[in-house]
Amino acid sequence: MKTVFLAMSGGIDSSYAAYLLKKQGYRTVGFTFDLLPRSLRSESNRKMCCSAVNMNRAKRIADDLSIPHYVINMREEFERHVIGRFVEEYRAGRTPNPCVLCNRHIKFAWFLEKALALGADLVATGHYAAVEETEYGFELKKGRDRAKDQSYFLYPIRPADLPLLTFPLAQYTKSRVRCEFAGLAAGRTDVEESQDICFIPGNDYRRFIGQFIPVRKGPIIMIDGKQVGYHEGIHYYTVGQRRGINIPHGEALYVVEVRAEENVLVVGPKEFLKQDRLVADEVNLFAARQEGEARAKVRYRQKEEPCSYSIKDGVLEVVFRHPVSAITPGQSVVLYDGETVLGGGTIRQTAAGAS
């Protein structure tokens, strides 16, 4: 019997994943991560990870399923690799993706290594994605539920680690998981959806970032260089943002560029958001080929766009067939070949495709 260590947040997805793993005959062991420094905890936010509410909820689910459950302390690693990086990226005028950071450094690195050292055969999470063995080896695939597919967030997984992972919800839709879990947990009303940005109470970015980065006002300029106002601090803005600019103009203005070193915010009409290429670093590639044709998306909720890509000296360049709106430094670009994830990287630079 194989042993699977499962990351359990206390939410519906990981709870139902625990049920499926046990049903499939695995020796399942649940782990809830203790991630947040004490100063960032908020018991008033029930969806916030690492709250006592969520830890106790995960333990109760594990008890219901008669599987062992442990809490594992990862506060130092999480603060350094996720929270610290999150703040520094905003300080540099970029918009990071904390879920990608967590997957890269916590779930599929630190936890995976600890799990294997403690005797696990496999590590599982409640992500909607799949790992499949094909004629080309182990590949990361999209989950069956296209509306919920989370393969975008998983591209940092090291290729050699794919055989060590299993995603029990790969062939499930969210509606089916919710329905079947409700039947299994009849009378249990305390299991909720996990919060995406788990360490920010109430998703209040401005307040959270403001704890670390002092407000430094600066000029807002149009794309032609004309100053039209002042911003409240560049870390409060991201490419593609419309709200909060507050500049009277004949048409809607959007953040086109954030120049951190100059403390300048560049704005312009919507058409200036369109870009036709990008450069990314921190590249992780599953496919062997270093260049080719693919489809790519630059945000989780954006659609895939046809492109060509090439990798040289660890740098990924993507050229889109058609300009794409609001490509944002700090976010991730992920490459797909049909259902298969080819790899991805962290966006660093863009080049205009419209004028």
Q: What pLDDT does residue 44 have?
A: 46
Q: Which entry of 99, 102, 179, 307 is annotated as an active-site residue? A: 102
pTM of the model: 0.92
**Angle, CA 185 vertex, CA 179 and CA 187 arms, to 5°:** 110
Cα-trace Rg, the chain: 21
CA angle 164, 165, 167 (to 5 degrees): 160
**What's the CATH code, domain 3-203?**
3.40.50.620
pLDDT tier, 43 (very low <50, low <70, confident <90, very high otherwise): very low
What percent of the chain has pLDDT above 70? 91
pLDDT single digits (tens) 83-100: 999 999 999 999 999 999
| From 49, 50, 99, 198, the catalytic residue | 198
In this prediction, residue 355 has a pLDDT band, given cuts at 50, 70 and 90, of very low
Report the CATH fold assignment for 273-352: Elongation Factor Tu (Ef-tu); domain 3 (2.40.30)
H/E/C letters for each residue in 279-328? EEEEEEECCCCCEEEEEEECCCCCCCEEEEEEEECCEEEEEEEEEEECCC
Distance, CA of 137 to CA of 128 (rounded, Å) = 20
Neighbours of 220 (CB within 10 A): 22
- pLDDT band per the 50, 70, 90 thresholds, residue 30: very high
Q: Position 43: which residue type?
A: E
Residues 30-46, mean pLDDT to the nearest whole number: 73
pLDDT digits (tens, 9 = 90+) for 230-247: 998 999 999 999 988 989
d(CA 265, CA 251): 18
**3-state DSSP call for residue 229?**
strand
Amino acid at 143: G
The residue-averaged pLDDT of 91-117 equals: 95
Q: CATH topology for 214-268?
A: SH3 type barrels. (2.30.30)
CA quadruple 65, 70, 71, 72: dihedral sign = negative
307 is catalytic: no
Give DSSP secondary structure letters for 91-130: HTT----HHHHHIIIIIIIIHHHHHHHTT-SEEE---SEE
69/27 Cα distance (integer angstroms):
12
Q: How many CA atoms lie within 13 A of 273 on its CB side?
A: 16
Q: 1 in helix, strand or coil?
A: coil
**50-59, 256-265, 281-290: lowest mean pLDDT where?**
50-59
The pLDDT score that the predictor gives to residue 206 is 81
Which region holds residue 234: left if phi is over 0, alpha if psi is between -120 and 50, else beta? alpha
Cα–Cα distance measured from residue 265 to residue 260, given in angstroms and rounded to the nearest whole number: 8
Q: Which of 146-155, 181-190, 195-204 ranks highest by mean pLDDT?
A: 146-155
Domain range summary for the chain, segments of one domain joined by +? 3-203, 214-268, 273-352
Question: Which SS3 state, helix, strand or coil, does residue 227 take?
Answer: strand
Annotation says 50 is catalytic: no
- DSSP state letter for 225: S
